[in-house]
Amino acid sequence: MKRDIISVMDMKDDFEDILASAVKMKKEPKKGSKQDVLKGKVLGMVFEKPSLRTRISFEVGMTQLGGKAVYIGPDEVSIGKRESVSDVANVLSRYVNAIMYRAFSNQTMRELAKHASVPVINGLDDLEHPCQCAADLLTVMEKKGKLKGLQLVYVGDGNNVCNSLLLGCALTGMNMRAATPKDFKPNADILAKAQEIAKGKGGRIETLSNPYQAVEGADVIYTDTWVSMGQEAEKQAREKLFLPYQVNDKLAEKANKDYIFLHCLPAHRGLEVSAEVIDGPHSVVFDEAENRMHAQKAILVAVLGK
Ligand code: CP
Ligand code: NVA
């Protein structure tokens, strides 16, 4: 049976194995790798939205594993407009061994996965960003030497990135607080699921609205854009409303002295994060960006390897 990675929950049984495999792959030579685990395999990458990290890290990752990636941009397919989602899924399944899909909606993501006979990997939709979460926790593991028991504090919009982090933290026994304005909380079903998992793992998952209270004792501070792709019409209103949630030195003072700062990027200095924090000594955002590739190579092998 094919294995889709639509949610972090699709890695619930082997999330830590995937992270361990990513650590191993990172140690192996980046260029001229002798690995050919995915030799002859092709990944189709369907994008409805722009991307730097997701596109390049998947493409280079596939190349390093001995396979290939084909980029399919928004103008080429016009998924659901020029052609139905199910026809795109059926046709692509005849050409490629797996599909990486960046979608506007989780519903389209699930529809594509339902009709595709090859595995579908979520490269971001409006509900989750599971590959980002794997890279994030890989980065925390590298910097802190462990995951279990650490306190991650997410500040800002309870969006796709936040939703996936709730599940990732729960699965790995981390504690997570999400500080968001009351109307921008993470998805309620995902929050409930994460809290249920955390109970069994000895972790604590909470949401609150005061960022200063939230950041107290943080090992990791995480933020993301206040205006996700597709929300451009709300830009002005959001930027005003979220201002108290900016991650800056004053807020970060409440964190543990050795806290690390994560951001999935692209970042907006002066909005969700100040330049002093993202360009400062606690920031590990470029290691995090690099880790997208290592984490995704591990995911690709889990999905496509023999
Ligand atoms: N973090 C992330 O997914 O970046 P891109 O939008 O550039 O792929
Ligand atoms: N929440 C952001 C993440 C970008 C990588 C978005 O969906 O646009």
Between the alpha carbon of residue 250 and those of residues 60, 276, 277, the distances in Å are 38, 11, 10
Between CA 45 and CA 143 the distance in angstroms is: 30
Q: Over range 194-204, report the average pLDDT.
A: 97
Shared domain check, 249 and 122: no
Question: Domain with 235 in it: what CATH number?
Answer: 3.40.50.1370
Q: For residue 113, give its domain range.
A: 8-129+292-304
- Name the token pair of 243: 């201002």
Task: Tally the C-alpha atoms within 13 A of residue 14's C-alpha that lie toward its C-beta.
Answer: 13
Q: How many domains does the chain have?
A: 2
Cβ count within 10 A of residue 257: 6
Q: Quick check: is 13 catalytic? A: no
In the structure, what pLDDT confidence band is assigned to residue 78 with cuts at 50, 70 and 90? confident
Shared domain check, 145 and 111: no
pLDDT of residue 33: 57
Residue located nearest, by CA, to atom 1 of ligand 2: 228
Please name the residue ranges forming H helices in the chain.
15-27, 53-64, 74-77, 85-95, 106-115, 130-144, 160-171, 188-201, 211-215, 235-241, 249-252, 275-278, 285-304
Catalytic residue among 4, 115, 224, 294: 224
Shared domain check, 110 and 18: yes
Q: Is residue 3 part of a domain?
A: no
Percent of the chain with pLDDT over 90: 93
- Name the token pair of 225: 């854009």
Q: Over range 291-295, report the average pLDDT.
A: 98
pLDDT of residue 80: 84
Between CA 284 and CA 282 the distance in angstroms is: 7
Condensed to tens digits (0 to 9), the pLDDT of residues 234-253 reads 999 999 999 999 999 999 99
Q: Is 52 in the pocket of ligand 1 (CB under 6 A)?
A: yes
Shared domain check, 93 and 138: no
Whether pLDDT at 82 is above 80:
yes
**What is the CB < 6 Å shell around ligand 2?**
124, 159-161, 224-225, 228-229, 264
Q: Quick check: is 269 catalytic? A: no
pLDDT of residue 208: 98
Shared domain check, 136 and 283: yes
Task: Give me the residues paired with residue 70 across strands.
Answer: 44
Whether pLDDT at 104 is above 70:
yes
Shared domain check, 162 and 258: yes
Condensed to tens digits (0 to 9), the pLDDT of residues 134-173 reads 999 999 999 999 999 999 999 999 999 999 999 999 999 9
Ligand closest to 162 (CA) is: 2
Residue in 161, 162, 265 to alter for ligand 1 test, most ligand atoms within 8 A of Cβ = 265
Shared domain check, 196 and 216: yes
Q: Is residue 1 part of a domain?
A: no
Q: Is residue 2 part of a domain?
A: no
Whether pLDDT at 96 is above 90:
yes
Ligand closest to 130 (CA) is: 1
DSSP output for 30-52: SSS----TTTT-EEEEEESS--S
Q: Running DSSP on this structure, what letter comes out for residue 223?
A: E
Shared domain check, 300 and 179: no
Residues 6+ away with beta carbon under 8 Å from 286: none
Q: What is the pTM of this model?
A: 0.97
Cα(225) to ligand 2 centroid in Å equals 7
Q: Is 265 in the pocket of ligand 1 (CB under 6 A)?
A: yes
Q: Quick check: is 195 catalytic? A: no
Condensed to tens digits (0 to 9), the pLDDT of residues 16-75 reads 999 999 999 999 755 545 568 999 999 999 999 999 999 999 999 999 999 999 999 988
First to last CA, the chain: 13
Whether pLDDT at 283 is above 80:
yes
Whether pLDDT at 200 is above 90:
yes
Average pLDDT for the chain: 96
